[in-house]
Amino acid sequence: MEKILISACLLGQPVRYDGRSCPFKCSLIDLWQAKGLLVPVCPEMDGGLPVPRPPAEISPGGGPGVWAGTARVTTRQVDVTAFFIKGAQAALDKAVACGIKTALLKQKSPSCGSCRIYDGSFSRSLVAGMGVTTAFLRQNGIMVFGEDQINQLPQAIAHNK
């Protein structure tokens, strides 16, 4: 079976903006981890952001919830777009180096969200959309799933062979 890129926070690593993790308990994760198939990544840390850090959201540029060249990733005070782009590129480079075609990333994140992200207003409102890393990976042919879509992963991997 091929390797899978996974958000480090889903494996229990305390890399989220608030210094926490969000371990995703699932028998598939346990199995893949035991087989050494999971390649953890934290694009925000790989992009140079510290832990903890202020929360960031994608400010609409190409429309609500759309990562586009015109969109920006900001905290309430600072534009951190460059860090997110650098981290997304690092995740893509890791995926390519490892021959990865599939990723399991954390929903709602401005880096990793694959279906839903926060709307840029810092009101905890969600919109349909994807994060910067997800966009980079998908633009390069890598399938990205959120943790709530994990049951779709085995079929996608089998189809991708």
pLDDT (0 to 100) of residue 98: 97
CB of 38 closer than 8 Å to CB of 3? yes
Neighbours of 66 (CB within 10 A): 17
pLDDT tens per residue across span 9-67:
999 999 999 999 999 999 999 999 999 999 999 999 999 999 999 999 998 665 444 45
137: left (phi over 0), alpha (psi -120 to 50) or beta: alpha
pLDDT tens per residue across span 91-111:
999 999 999 999 999 999 999
Instruction: Please count the CA atoms within 13 angstroms of the CA of 21 that sit on its side-chain side.
Output: 14
**In this model, does residue 4 exceed pLDDT 90?**
yes
